[in-house]
Structure 1
Amino acid sequence: MNESKPAHLEGKPLPQDVPLPWVGDIPARGLAQCPDRTAVIFADGGGRTMSYRELERMTRAFCAAMRARGLVDGARVAYLGRNNELYMPMLFGALRAGCVIVTLNWRLTAPEIAYQLQDSGAAFLIADADLMPVTMKACEGLTMQPEILPTDDPAASRDLRRLMAGDAPASECPHELDQVVVQMYTSGTTGKPKGVQLTHGCLTYARHCEMIDGSYAGWQAGTTHLSAMPNFHIAGTSWMLIGLTRLSTMVLTADPSPANLLPLIEKYNPGCSFIVPTVIRALVDAIRAGGRPAPRMKQIAYGASAIGESLLREAMETFGCEFGQAFGMTEVTGTCTYLPNADHDLSRPQVLKSVGRPLAGMAVQIRDGEGRLLNVGEAGEIWVRTPTAMLGYWNLPKATQEALVDGWYRTGDGGRIDADGFLYLTDRIKDMIISGGENVYPVEIEERLRLHPAVLEAAVIGLPDPHWGEAVHAMVELRPGQQVEADTLRAFAREGLAGFKCPRSIRFTTALPRTASGKVQRAQVRSAWRESIAAG
């Protein structure tokens, strides 16, 4: 009889003799080693380029401008804008000055933006010109009115581009692990968004762990890569920093549509790109509809939301390149586990459903609701120990104390570890459905529904049921031009799932609510469903 093994995974140890790649040093290193190499190509700006020499100059200018305004020692500087090459020198300049960049999702409404501005206490706000109406509305009731500066507006008397146009003296970048650099707000899928404080140490150790792990070995100095993730999201900022740390060239765009991405891939021939599953689905469909071969890339990394086995198989067959899956969250500065290309083996379909193993310097455990370590194969909550863990939630000591426990971060995600050392997601702990005493994980049902050729995406929720306690229901978004009856889809689900897991009812929608990273927001689906029931 085999003995039970604890559900604990360790990445390779971090060597003590390898210096940290401080991200704040990137512009100065680029100036010293490759000043004329292109650091960023902003595809949406007509292919506008920024060399490493210009990156350092603009970083100095922004740092000087913040210091001149007294925005140092943790002062908050908010940014409300789409992807733009100016974001990188703004980030590096703020780091040198000692202020904190608060990234705001430009898709938010005025009240949502107002909440984050008020909560952060931002004294300075940079916003895109076309977002000025919502910006001004968001600022109307703030306790402290921030100074507002447009990002790039030739019609205005001043803007961020002109603020960065001048020269300023060189300044040292502080090497302080606990210096807060970025404050990113969580998606707010449960209650009000929380401000996640990420430090210079978080951002630096994230790059260090990746480099020691070897998961991004294809990234080399002088190579070109593509970023289409929003920079206000940890994946977008991280993807840019992964490339710039290696003094690569990053092609940046704010438009992830196939009509934009496919020509960019053909034009710039990027080695790697991070693409969320919803965009992968759209790319595969567009390539097949166009009848042309897929443009070549060395690797596609994916994550931020679940990807179905059928879509992954289609994508691997369509692009014929390497694939890697990243699992993580804002609170650990991005990736904490990774499934490399070597494990993307179509002959081992079960492994394709996992999210890999911990990166170097990180550890993962599965614990029960009381914080006790479980055994391999048992489902519970994923806990992560990593040097990239956030400093804490801004002005929320209780929430911070609940999330960070004895050096571990409680993710709130459900998972299990198998006998081969792979981590599998079950679901958000709060999203788990208990029906008739059985634990039902929405992600398993959603994956089954996505296997149907008419289904693009699904959101499975639990609603109160007088007999079963909770009953399973599904909201489904169909692929363009496809139709399927609810009963047909329920029968399809039943072919691959136990009866208690099958949706009692299925509704259809033209578009499921999603976060900026493409993650379906079950909380909004659940709320809308309950409202419709209450309305009769």
Structure 2
Amino acid sequence: MTDTHDHPLSGRIAGVLDLAPSSRAIEFDGTWHSWGELAETARRVSALITTPCQVGILLRNRPEHVAAFLGVLLSGGTVVVINPSRGDDRTRSDIAALELPLVIGGQADLAGLVGPGTATVTIADLDTAPIPSEPIGEHDAGTPLPGIAVRMLTSGTTGPPKRVEITYDMLARSVIGTDFEQAATPTAPRGGVAIVNAPLVHIGGIFRILQCVVAARPFVFLPRFDLERWAAAVRAHRPGAVSLVPAALRMVLHSDLGPADLDGVRVVTSGTAPLSAADADAFQDKFGIPVLTSYAATEFGGGVAGWTLPDHQQFWNTKRGSVGRASGGARLRVVDEDGTALGPDVPGLLEVAPGQLGPTASWVRTTDIARIDADGFLWILGRADQAIIRGGFKIMPDDVRAALEGHPAVGGAAVVARTDDRLGETPVAMVELRAGRHTEVDELVDYLSTRLARYEIPTEIAVVEAIPRTPSGKADLSAVRAHFTATPIGPRPHSESGDPT
């Protein structure tokens, strides 16, 4: 492994920051900041870290937080991602349990979430020098993690988020390529402007920021996905490609935006959560833009499968619903519970040998049920650990969610299991409606009755203003489950007498 402090990824970042200091780097809240401004804050942060160590960052989507992140990578240290939006009590407990030698963040976050005795660095903006609480070099360096670039939070859709260690090598292979050892610094900043609306506390945000930085590509940085601000940025900069998580894509799809608003966009990429083929087709029908879905996981440090534009043009009509083929040097296979590889189109558990781990990567078993056809296209059929067993019948929540989201009034849905004294467990669903649309629960049940087996229809459907979501835009299934646990069971939407079939 390459020495972390001199790692090609750190070298690539340093080279880009010096490439054209006066050129624009980040547009935030209507103001452009240069690569030189970004570099100054990043190097000030790096200079404070005299020994590579674990550094917590209370990450928000702001330019100075990007600079702090890059500064830790320049130092050869490990960024420990801390999400300040998870609730003060949980975040405060998280920071205390981590026992980090140093935490970086905005003044309000540090004052409210970091206890006494922990060294801090306050970052306000790119015009203000970072302010350490004490001489960092005199503080205990804690337990270093050589070779680890980021301790990344998972999305936490099914339970409390956990941290996954992503190495410098993994990040470099994701954003530079498999030949990153030979990668040269770009000879000039890229002209096209990207749009980044993914949160920095999610691997998608880290990945897209680093993609822009290593290519010296300027980008618009949004605090969060906001339809009006996103559309304004697309109209202003006409990017050739944009990335939208499924929830955001559905917002664009069902908005008043038309093809002229997205003029210049050639492809939309979408990941982090399932996107139905019907939504992908509807988006292309409305805007004339193909949607390229992908499959990734925090544990892999990026994507391992996805659609390319040539594949989409050739195969979409016959492979619609697939998340594409292996990418980035990854290998994919489907196995049974004993680990025996299965043939084409036979459902089983997905195993991945991620390209980010190099050509000798071992197989990693996921909890996803999948099938791979003879041409190598991958379909994700659901998660084995989320299957709902209702009176002996297996229900995949994604099947129920997709059926609900097919209703013309539904903007999004989430499906979880609820314990049932008689049947073991039953599906329950939370639904948010499109703006200006209305429907009743009985209408939704009638709609589902022609699309699902009787036992798959939720025993309760809650229509809410907005489904709780994680920073990555996925439905927060823990919060959805808590809603139904705390809510008394009302009238059943359909009869529960007799066999659930």
**What's the TM-score bracket when you normalise by the shorter of the two chains?**
0.7 to 0.9
Match of 2:101 among 116, 123, 127: 123
The amino acid that maps onto 2:472 is S
Counterparts of 1:17-166 in structure 2 under 5 Å?
A: 22-30=8-16, 34-38=20-24, 40-44=25-29, 46-51=30-35, 53-67=36-50, 72-73=51-52, 75-129=53-107, 132=108, 135-140=110-115, 144-152=117-125, 160=130
Q: Contact 1:298–1:322 (CA<8 Å) still a contact in 2?
A: yes
How far apart in 1 are the matches of 2:110 and 2:7?
36
Q: Deviations 1:302-333 (Å, cap 9, x if unpaired)?
A: 11112223322232233323432221111111
SS in 1 for 2:436: coil
Check 1:472–1:88 CA distance in 2 against 1; reply closer, same or farther (3 A cut): closer
Q: CA deviation at 1:447?
A: 0.9
SS in 2 for 1:273: strand
Q: State percent identity of aligned pairs.
A: 25
Match of 2:142 in 1: none
Match of 2:153 in 1: 185
Check 1:267–1:284 CA distance in 2 against 1; reply closer, same or farther (3 A cut): same
How far apart in 1 are the matches of 2:467 and 2:442?
20
Q: Which runs of 5+ in 2 are unaligned?
A: 1-5, 133-144, 181-188, 492-501
Larger RCO (CA under 8 A, 6+ residues apart): 1
Q: CA deviation at 1:510?
A: 1.5
Match of 2:205 in 1: 236
Instruction: Indicate whether 1:474 and 2:424 are aligned.
Output: no
How far apart in 2 are the matches of 1:295 and 1:221?
20
Check 1:347–1:448 CA distance in 2 against 1; reply closer, same or farther (3 A cut): farther
Q: Which runs of 5+ in 1 are unaligned?
A: 1-19, 164-176, 213-219, 391-404
How far apart in 2 are the matches of 1:109 and 1:350?
45
Instruction: Indicate whether 1:303 and 2:303 are aligned.
Output: no
Q: Contact 1:383–1:411 (CA<8 Å) still a contact in 2?
A: yes
Q: CA deviation at 1:527?
A: 2.9
Check 1:43–1:37 CA distance in 2 against 1; reply closer, same or farther (3 A cut): same
Q: Contact 1:287–1:293 (CA<8 Å) still a contact in 2?
A: no
Q: CA deviation at 1:452?
A: 0.7
- The farther-off stretch of 349-358 and 192-201 is 349-358
Match of 2:255 among 280, 286, 303: 286
Check 1:471–1:511 CA distance in 2 against 1; reply closer, same or farther (3 A cut): same
How far apart in 2 are the matches of 1:371 and 1:316?
39
SS in 1 for 2:368: strand
Q: CA deviation at 1:518?
A: 0.7
Match of 2:450 in 1: 495
Q: Contact 1:244–1:250 (CA<8 Å) still a contact in 2?
A: no
Superposition CA RMSD, Å = 3.2
Q: Contact 1:273–1:299 (CA<8 Å) still a contact in 2?
A: yes
Check 1:535–1:151 CA distance in 2 against 1; reply closer, same or farther (3 A cut): farther
Q: Contact 1:23–1:241 (CA<8 Å) still a contact in 2?
A: no
Q: CA deviation at 1:36?
A: 4.5
The amino acid that maps onto 1:268 is H
Q: Contact 1:323–1:340 (CA<8 Å) still a contact in 2?
A: no
Per the normalisation by structure 2, the TM-score is 0.83
Match of 2:323 among 335, 338, 355: 355
The amino acid that maps onto 2:15 is R
The amino acid that maps onto 2:201 is F
Check 1:211–1:456 CA distance in 2 against 1; reply closer, same or farther (3 A cut): farther
Counterparts of 1:359-438 in structure 2 under 5 Å?
A: 359-388=327-356, 407-438=362-393
Q: CA deviation at 1:529?
A: 1.1
Per the normalisation by structure 1, the TM-score is 0.78
